[in-house]
Every structure is written in C-alpha cells, then in structure tokens.
C-alpha cells in the first residue's frame, strides 16, 4: 500500500471526511469512526509511514508530544479519568499507516484489556538469551 491508496492519507488530504481534533505541518489527529469509547482519537503522521519503526527520527518527538497532549485532552475535555494509548505494528493494524490510539477511560467502563495467550520460558537461561538478543538489537539502534 502506498500513500495514494491509503485511507488515512486520504483523510489527511481532506479527500475523505474525518473529525479532525489536531493538525499541524507534520501530524493530524481525528476521531476513530468505530471508537472503543466516544472520543477515541487516532494520531497519524501526514507523511505515509507504515509502522513505528518506520517513523523518521525528526518526527518522533512531535509524535509523542501530540500523544501526550491528546492523553491530557481526553481527561480535561471529555471528563475521562485516564486513557489507553496504543500502537499496533502490522499485526492488528487495520490501516497500514502508523496511528496512535488514544482512548478515554473511566473506572468501570467495561474495557477488560486484552486476552493474550501466555507462554513460559523453558529455563532461566532461555529467558536470559531473549533478554540478551533484545539488548543487542537495542544497542544497534
């Protein structure tokens, strides 16, 4: 998929309607059309970027700063007690354009989280091997 056939690029360009809540030269935030709760907002870079690892370094600070602002806005503007903030990369990413979900939360709202399958490491050594592999990957970035 390219920016030319991306739903979020079309929303950013104004070719598809979206309820925009924030816009600047680099980012746009708009309401999710199928919200978990009313006020569920999606933050996207204007530039077609597919996943968080693809986000150019010069956009990282702005992306997080706007995420913080949106997390505050759902509390101050909607009366939520907090927020759920998430990014899917490839798996469960319904639109192949980086987007940060900011979902307003209230205690007792019924959202029970994710039901992820759990696994175990075969041994402490296997666990340390995985930790080491991640440290190596992080040292290379």
Q: Please identify every residue annotated as catalytic.
A: 99
Longest CA–CA span in the chain (Å) reads 54
- HEC states along 86-138? ECCCCCCCCCCCCCEEEEEECCCCCCCCCCCCCCCCCCHHHHHHHHHHHHHHH
User: E strands of 20-106, at which residues?
Assistant: 20-23, 27-31, 41-45, 82-86, 100-105
Q: Are 38 and 54 in contact (CB under 8 A)?
A: no
Neighbours of 113 (CB within 10 A): 6
């Amino acid at each position: 998929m390219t920016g030319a056939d991306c739903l979020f690029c079309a929303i950013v360009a104004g070719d598809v309607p979206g309820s925009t809540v924030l816009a600047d030269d680099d980012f746009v935030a708009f309401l999710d059309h199928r919200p978990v709760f009313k006020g569920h907002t999606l933050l996207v870079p204007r530039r077609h970027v597919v996943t968080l690892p693809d986000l150019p370094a010069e956009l990282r600070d702005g992306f997080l700063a706007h995420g913080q602002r949106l997390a505050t806005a759902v509390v101050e503007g909607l009366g939520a007690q907090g927020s759920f903030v998430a990014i899917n990369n490839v798996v469960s990413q319904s639109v192949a354009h980086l987007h940060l979900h900011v979902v307003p939360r209230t205690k007792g709202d019924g959202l029970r989280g994710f039901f992820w399958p759990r696994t175990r490491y075969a041994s402490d050594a296997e666990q340390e091997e995985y930790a080491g592999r991640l440290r190596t990957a992080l040292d290379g970035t």
